[in-house]
Amino acid sequence: METPANPTPPYSQDLEQLKLLETFHKVIAGMYALFGFCGFPHFIIGILAATNPKFMNTPKNQGMDVMFGAIFILAGLAVILGAWTLTVLSWLSSQRIAQRRGIKLIYATAGLNCLWMPFGTALGVFTFIVLTRPSVRSIFPN
């Protein structure tokens, strides 16, 4: 699809909504960062279960303790790394919205945000709605 020779100029409403998107991407980045800390208790419980046989009061089933611990370690790490990755991506998206560049990164982050209900989904959908308007697309270089 070709862009028109005279693209639609951005309206004050578009600029206002871009500023709101920038702010909300920073807010959700903070929420993701806080959520990432929820993985630490799982990680610590996993380490204790895997290394200390008395932790679960089952001295005969040491192999089960190690497997239980490994599952908790992996689950904790997945929560920490996933949340903090989304933190970085959301923060970078807010910066790219402010700089009016990097629309592919913003789209990718909006898609990932849609997986985190309800706030991430709302932000992702509104990001897609705002950024697909021709008047807003004319602000961002290809």
Measured in Å, how far apart are the chain's first and last C-alpha atoms?
Answer: 12
pTM comes to 0.81
**Is residue 142 in a domain?**
no
Residue 42 lies in a domain: yes
Residue 61 is predicted with a pLDDT of: 59
pLDDT at 22: 94
> Environment class of residue 134 by beta-carbon count within 10 Å: exposed (0-12), middle (13-18) or buried (19+)?
exposed
Q: Residues of 33-72 as b/e, b for ≥16 C-beta within 10 angstroms?
A: bebbeebeebbebbbebbeeeeebeeeeeeeebeebbeeb
Res 119: pLDDT: 92
Tokens at residue 114, please?
A: 């849609």
Range of 60's domain? 12-137
**Residue 43 located in a structural domain:** yes
Confirm whether 4 is domain-assigned. no
Pull the structure tokens for residue 64. 């089960």
Q: What's the pLDDT tens digit per position in 52-68?
A: 767 666 656 556 777 88
Provide the residue-wise pLDDT of the chain in tens; the chain has 142 residues.
555 555 566 678 888 999 999 999 999 999 999 999 999 999 998 888 888 767 666 656 556 777 888 899 999 999 999 999 999 999 999 999 999 999 999 999 999 999 988 999 999 999 999 999 888 888 888 6
Domain count, the chain: 1
pLDDT confidence of residue 51: 82
Please report whether residue 34 resides in a domain. Answer: yes
Is 128 part of a structural domain of the chain?
yes
Give the tens place of pLDDT for each residue, 110-131: 999 999 889 999 999 999 999 9
Residue 76 lies in a domain: yes
* Residue 5: inside a domain: no
